[in-house]
Amino acid sequence: MTDFSGISGKVVVITGGARGIGLATATALRALGAKIAIGDIDEVSVKESGAARGFEVYGRLDVTDQQSFETFLDDVERELGPIDVLINNAGIMPTGRLVDEPDAITRRILDINVYGVILGSKLAVARMLPRGRGHVINIASLAGETHIPGLATYNASKHAVLGFTDTLREEYRGTGVRFSSVLPTLTKTELGSGVSTPALLRPAEPEEIADAITRLIVEPKSKVRVTTVAGLISQVVGLLPEALGDALGRALGAQSAFLDDVDSGARKAYESRVRG
């Protein structure tokens, strides 16, 4: 049985914490005694979420802006003490064919999903290294291990997060600072609204991802995939010859899940928000 007592008192910062996986994770860790700081670009929602759940620090955070990120981390350390865990969770997932994706959206995906993770990691590691301890957890996706039509730029961003995190794990081996990636399947959050679930798979609950992150904090490892079945399928497809792997993906419905099968009406509010 996993012992979660070590989480009590830890200072945990979560980006994109106003809703979805970020909020579920913050709630789970707070219940175990962690000191929670959530930041989000949506200032109204993050303040509502933070106040309602009694988190210690909550406020606006633009992960693409160095001054915003640095100021937020400074405020956290001034209020709560040294940061033990940074969870780079903020991310967006617009869907559609690449040729229909405006340049501004391409840049926005990369700015938030890649640069935001790199910037947050850099700022956190600079604080953690002198202390000889700390844990950076980057939320990637099973999309980072495969290729799904309708998510070309998003896929690229999550491949980048995985490569980046693995590199830091080796670059700072032996320093006391740990690095982990979390690879969720499609999850029942606003990000996954209006998207059909491929055959043989089920969407994960945000609480399942939160549980995986919680376990990573007490039992660190390089990667965790959620759900187990989706993770196994992703790994198997990656090991197959290209033609066979692609055919299996099509048989599971990946070819249309994020294109023709998307319920644009159900997804309209999310797409409008993340596209600015």
Long-range contacts of 169-176, Cβ-Cβ distance < 8 Å, separation of 24 or more? 169/222, 172/125, 172/129, 175/129, 175/132, 176/128, 176/131, 176/132, 176/133, 176/134
Which residue, 20, 25, 26, 24, is CA-closest to 42? 20
The position carrying tokens 């730029």 is 153
> Is residue 154 annotated as part of the catalytic site, yes or no?
yes
Q: Which amino acid is at 135?
A: H
Q: What is the DSSP string of 125-172?
A: HHHHGGGT-EEEEEE--GGGGS--TT-HHHHHHHHHHHHHHHHHHHHT
Which residues lie below 8 Å from residue 35, measured CB to CB, with a gap of 6+?
9, 10, 11, 12, 56, 80, 81
Which residue, 69, 51, 66, 93, is CA-closest to 15? 69
Cβ count near 145 (within 10 Å): 19
Give the CA angle between residues 34, 69, 131 to the nearest 5°. 55
C-alpha to C-alpha distance for 14 and 47, rounded to whole angstroms:
14
Whether 107 contacts 116, CB under 8 Å: no
Kindly list the catalytic residues: 154
